[in-house]
Amino acid sequence: MKKLVRVGLALLTVCLLALTLTAVYAPESFRRDLVMRFSLEEREPGIWCRPDLSVAEFAAWREVLEQGRKQAAPYCPQEIVPTADIIFADNGELKQQLAVGNPFAKSLFHRDEVLAMIGPRGNNPDVIAHLLVHVAIKQELGEARFAELPIWFDEGVAAQADSRPFLSPAALDALPGSVQSFAPDSRPELERFLGKEGEEQLALAKRQLSQWQQSRIPGAEWALLRAFAQGGEFVPLYSEIGAATAD
């Protein structure tokens, strides 16, 4: 009996040790994976960078980040504050990951969290404001519903906070073709917004969203997003919310 007890205790110890090692070493989130794989450090709560980033360099990033946050704020409802861990992705491997998609910045889901990566080319308030509106949209919808949202609408809403020259009112007025560049339920490949034609696609999305907003009360896009998050179908909402707010 004593031998069986000793064996049982030994097995229990091994199991507890295995669980402890799993808890310590297995990545529990994408952030932790980045820390382990890319040796990032959390310089401030929720702000990650490479450990050798100088104080001056970090301060410069931080200042631009705050400018972007202030610029994004008017384009998000007061109750939706874009919250995401921010990763300054300026080391070689992370820049390569960004280059696969958007070399400026990207937001992404991991489990129930939204993360934001900013590359060296994204170090300006317009790009960061654009990014943070994407973060707010993802937070509002969650991963499953966001996957069903037409990309042009997501980009059009986010581009409202972005005042780069190719997205200026004058540039939008100069765009060729119909204002209705996208069918409401159109889901063009994301690559169209990132490749050579990406700037024009973003401008077209911003123009169409702006035109849609003109006959609606402020915040209609977020009313649509809330209803969509609750399971509504996009095309009827796109039409009905317009009809309701136009009266």
Q: Tens of pLDDT along the chain (247 residues)?
A: 545 445 444 443 333 333 232 233 333 556 677 677 777 888 998 898 889 999 999 999 999 999 999 999 999 988 777 788 888 877 666 666 665 556 788 888 876 788 898 988 888 999 999 999 999 999 999 999 999 999 999 999 999 999 999 999 999 999 887 777 888 877 766 666 666 678 888 999 999 999 999 888 888 999 999 999 999 999 999 998 865 444 4
Q: Quote the pTM value.
A: 0.81
What pLDDT is stored for residue 217 in this prediction?
A: 82
The 3-state DSSP composition of the chain as helix, strand, coil percent (nearest 5) reads: 60, 10, 30
- Domains of the chain are 28-141 (3.30.2010), 150-207 (no CATH), 215-247 (no CATH)
What pLDDT is stored for residue 196 in this prediction?
A: 61
3-state secondary structure of 43: strand
Q: Which helix (H) or strand (E) holds 95?
A: helix 92-100
What single DSSP character describes residue 166?
G
3-state secondary structure of 49: strand
Could you tell me whether strands 41-44 and 113-118 are parallel, antiparallel, or unpaired per DSSP bridges?
A: unpaired
Gap between the Cα atoms of 210 and 132, Å rounded: 19
